[in-house]
Chain A
Amino acid sequence: MNVLVVVAMALAAISSLGVVLSRQTIYSALSLVVTIAMISVLFLLLNAQFLFAVQIIIYAGAVMVLFVFIIALLSPDAEDRPGRDWRAVVGLIAVAAVTILVFVAAGNGVTYNSKGFRATQLLGSCTSLNAGPCDPYRTFSYPVDATNAAGNVQTVAGQLFTTFLLPFEITSLLLLVAVIGAVYLTRRGVER
């Protein structure tokens, strides 16, 4: 199980680099598709089956297709060298710093509760952060997934249509607005 996770994560990371560093636009798009696929595998491995499907269908299936179409339409053989200036340096520093920091912080049990960001105090005798007195969160490794006991789709649907009904309806409104906006923005024959 862990091997799959590691592989998915590694591929996601590598293909994200491909998105950014590819010279040709179309290659960036294809790399992004790979990244999305790997991420959806991660979702699956994290017991979020519904999101796995949604990610494939919407992101890789609709959004990226749209991207590829537009690339083909506008500039199929567009080339765009990644810039090498001070901004690239800023980006590199950001990648290194943030990644390391987040990793280390997560590893040391940094959590955010009502008192803000706090490093939880660990007992000196702790060797593992599993359930018990050494647990800064409730548990640090994958716990038993009691939430999805009834099946992931049912659980998600149950919450989506009850507790989160309002955001759900608003997203439908959002989609309507997006459609209208897209249609309006791409009218022909209007002088701007």
Chain B
Amino acid sequence: MSVDTASALVILILLFPLAGAALNAVLGPRLGRGFVNLAGTLSIGAAFVVACVILGNVIAAPAGHSAVSVRLWQWLNLGSGNLSIGMDFTLDPLSALMVMVITGVGFLIHVYSVGYMEHDPGVARFFAYMNFFIFSMLTLVLAADLIILIVGWALVALSSYLLIGFWYERASAVLAARKAFITQVIGDVALVIAAFLIFLNAHTLSLPNIFARTAAFPSGGILVNGICALLAIGAFAKSAQFPLHTWLPDAMEGPTPVSALIHAATMVTAGVYLIARFHPLFNLAPIAGGMVACVGMGTALMAGIIALSQIDIKRVIAYSTMSQIGLMIYAVGIGAYSAGMFHFATHAVFKALLFMAAGNVIHSLHDEQDIRLMGGMAARMRWTHWAFLSGSLALAGIPLWAGWFSKENLLGFGTVAGPGPAPWLLYMVGVGVNVLTGLYAFRLWATVFHGEPQTARVYAAKEARNVLLVPVVILGVLSLIVAWPLQWPVPNAVRVFSDFLSPVFAGTPAGLASEPALWIAIVALVIGTLASLLGVGAAQRMWLHREPDPAAVAARLPRALPLLSYNKFYFDELYDAAFVRPVRAAARTARRVVEPDVFDGWIAGLTDLLRGFSVDLRAYQTGFIRDYAAAFTVGAVVLVVVTAVFLSR
């Protein structure tokens, strides 16, 4: 692929969503809903076409030349050896993959939004924000310059803020948007500090150059571990990992398409992408990688536990996202980059599907989201039910569904590598996560779609309209078949995906460059599959057939566990007490004490001092002629004395 082609493709793929956003923002309110729907979806559709062309070009590129960096224009040039920033973009397998997923899934979600937002008056604003989000996300994944990446990063956070708080009349939505944004700013700070450190040592901010100068970072040293830790913190904020995870459940205040696009498929995976992109640095920083892996797996476990007791359909899926991304983060933490990216790709498909299907359910029940009030939806929404089932099977990792391929692939690597002396530890936790995933996924499925309807609304529910249904069904089919041609979790079987990404991740430590030995892989496969089946089976029994009754089971557990799970491990309360309250108290003190007494008092004191001077001086202006004469006399006498005594030396 020549540089010209690449430039053209980059410009087009960035231009279409941006143009869509601009058109919707400016002309949308005037030209009406039809125009907005068309502009919003076609722009992403066109971007998807360009993404396919990019993919084709990357696949067809000769070996060794699969990565092409283009500079659209120069922004800042302070001389060689100093800062030089330009609009740099790179087209390589990794970014091609990201672009395909973003625009492909994004396109389906946009089509879905046409139906979902049909009664909303702010539809022009909605599509403008959505297109702008796609544009920012594309900027982020295509960026070849760290500054451009940070710009995309920040714009994505902005878009998520705008979209979460889309229904801004709702106080809860605004608060959730603010919470998301503030948490991501913490990650931004870490990312920017990492950028500073990188620049100080590598003297460049261009990603290809940074990766070529890894010699500037002593392997395993505290510098590169620190940089990677900071990058990881940025990734955690964006991907809602512990401890910066509290914003994701609240982000469900946004419309369901937003949850599908941003909080399932694309934005929350930006953290995974970041770590994968910076793999040359992470390869040099085993400590940071270990930290990342632990945080990822820990979050996966924690989120799985929390998801078991949530009662809002979207929150269950949100925690499921958190858990699955934890797995991806774990994968890139231990160095299995292409495994992590594969799981990202399949997860995007089935998670978006789950959200959209849930959106259908919510829509048909007239905005009811409490699963305790659902039940028996299967008979009323057949297609949605089957699609949801397909997605749940993929999520739980049942053989032949896409999730099975990617999750077992990922866990297989877990047997080979991991932080510390025992890689097996995190692997076992991963197996436990498999069980939990099956449990909560099928708890949700059973509670929503089976059993007895719990409210009258269920009886009136109808299947969703075509525009809402077709994307769901498409994704339902994809979540079955998308992995079949790509990657099988057994060594020496189909390896299309990892071969595709291998030029990017060349140089990964030898232990992960190839997969585990055949027998280990098969054993791990069996264990993982059994775990998933165990989870699914247990869920079927408990929630579908009601034996044992889940309430009875919960009552038998030590009281702490369900409480912790339901209250999300009290993180929100913890952060509130540790951060929010002290800051609020400090602000109150500043307003009540510091500002009036210290600042105003100081300034007032100064003015009082000057006023005092003025008043005292004014006493001289008595108006009495004789006083003025006395002043003259005194002055004259002083002059004479000074002259006679001092100046005559």
Q: Footprint of B on A, CB under 8 Å?
A: 83, 86-87, 90-91, 93-94, 97-98, 101-102, 104-105, 110, 116-119
30 A-B pairs with CB atoms under 8 Å apart are A83-B626, A86-B630, A87-B626, A87-B627, A87-B629, A90-B633, A90-B634, A91-B633, A93-B637, A94-B633, A94-B634, A94-B636, A94-B637, A97-B637, A97-B640, A98-B637, A98-B640, A101-B640, A101-B644, A101-B645, A102-B640, A102-B644, A105-B644, A105-B648, A116-B647, A117-B643, A117-B647, A117-B648, A119-B648, A119-B649
Given A97-B637, A117-B647, 8 additional A-B pairs, CB 8 A: A87-B626, A87-B627, A98-B640, A101-B640, A102-B644, A118-B648, A119-B648, A119-B649
- Set of chain A residues within 8 Å of B649, measured between Cβ atoms: 119
**Chain B residues whose CB sits within 8 angstroms of the CB of A86 once the complex forms:** 630
Bound state CA distance, A97 and B630, in angstroms? 15
Question: How many cross-chain pairs have Cβ atoms below 8 Å apart between A and B?
Answer: 38
B641 at the binding interface (Cβ < 8 Å): yes
Q: How far is the CA of A93 from the CA of B641 in the complex (A)?
A: 12
Residue among B626, B629, B641, B648 making CB contact with A97, cutoff 8 Å: B641
Please give me the residue from chain B that is nearest to A120 by CB atom: B648
Nearest 6 Cβ contacts at the A-B interface:
A101-B644, A119-B648, A87-B630, A94-B637, A117-B648, A105-B644
Closest Cβ–Cβ distance, residue B197 to chain A (whole Å): 68
Contacts of A105 in B (CB 8 A): 644, 648
Q: Which residue on chain B has the smallest CB distance to residue A111? A: B648
Tell me how many residues of B have a C-beta within 8 Å of chain A: 16
How far does the alpha carbon of A87 sit from the alpha carbon of B637 in the complex, in Å? 13
Q: Of B629, B630, B636, B641, which contacts A101 at CB under 8 A?
A: B641
Residue of B nearest to A110 (CB): B648
Chain A contacts for B636, CB-based, 8 A: 94
Chain A min CB distance to B263 (Å) = 86
Nearest B residue to A90 via CB reads: B630
A116 to B643, CA, bound (A): 10
Chain B nearest Cβ from A137, distance in angstroms: 15
Distance in Å from the Cβ of A99 to the closest Cβ of chain B?
10
Residue of B nearest to A89 (CB): B630
Which residues of chain A come closer than 8 Å to B626, judged between CB atoms?
Answer: 83, 87
- A110 touching B630, Cβ below 8 Å: no
Q: Which residues of A contact B630 (CB under 8 A)?
A: 86-87, 90
State the Cβ distance, A87 to closest chain B Cβ, in Å.
Answer: 5
Residues from chain A with a CB closer than 8 A to the CB of B647 are 116-117
Report the separation of the CA atoms of residues A171 and B641 in the bound assembly, to the nearest whole angstrom.
34
What is the CA–CA distance of A117 and B648 in the complex, to the nearest angstrom?
5
Report chain A residues within 8 Å CB of B627. 87
Nearest-Cβ distance from residue B641 to partner chain A, whole angstroms: 6
Residues in A neighbouring B641, C-beta threshold 8 A: 97, 101
Smallest CB separation, B635 vs chain A (Å)? 11
> Would you list which residues of chain B between 596 and 649 have a CB under 8 Å from chain A?
626-627, 629-630, 633-634, 636-637, 640-641, 643-645, 647-649
